[in-house]
Amino acid sequence: MAEDSPKRRKANFNEAETEVLIEQVLKHEQLLFAAGPGRASAGQKRKVWELIRHKVNPVAACPRDVEDLKKRWRDLKRRDRSKLCRLSQGCGPPAPPALGLLLAPEELPPAAAPP
């Protein structure tokens, strides 16, 4: 009977998982996302993502794989950049405090920049 049951989706990322993911990706950002001749090989990047997975899974609601983490990171970047775009056009609510975690200070709108 278990074969007939539909595949259940994983639980949403909780706050602790998201915080650890952001912290670890920012810590290894240069290695993961650098461009140019000095960039890391695919194997090195895979090892870093595995390291991040081992840091996230102890606080995770359910086991996460590397693809889950990469997708969550892309979604976080996309969501915060779209909020930043709306803010720079003068519409939308004020910037959330966590926006500064994903964007460099020069990318923040003047109202959202830390004092």
Q: Is residue 99 part of a domain?
A: no
Q: Is residue 78 part of a domain?
A: yes
User: What range does the domain containing 48 cover?
Assistant: 15-87
Smallest Cα–Cα separation from 72: which of 8, 19, 7, 6?
A: 19
Q: Is residue 108 part of a domain?
A: no
Q: SS3 of 96, please? A: coil
The 10s digit of each residue's pLDDT in 3-54 is: 667 888 889 999 999 999 999 999 999 999 988 888 899 999 999 999 999 9
Domains of the chain: total: 1
Within 10 Å of residue 11's Cβ, how many Cβ atoms? 11
Residue keyed to tokens 């670890």: 24
- At 81, the amino acid letter reads R
Stated pTM of the model: 0.68
Smallest Cα–Cα separation from 33: which of 45, 50, 47, 21?
A: 45
Q: Is residue 56 part of a domain?
A: yes
Q: Is residue 6 part of a domain?
A: no
Q: Is residue 114 part of a domain?
A: no
Interhelix angle 15-27/42-56, nearest 10 degrees: 150
The 10s digit of each residue's pLDDT in 58-109 is: 999 999 999 999 999 999 999 888 876 777 775 555 555 555 556 556 655 5
Q: Is residue 48 part of a domain?
A: yes
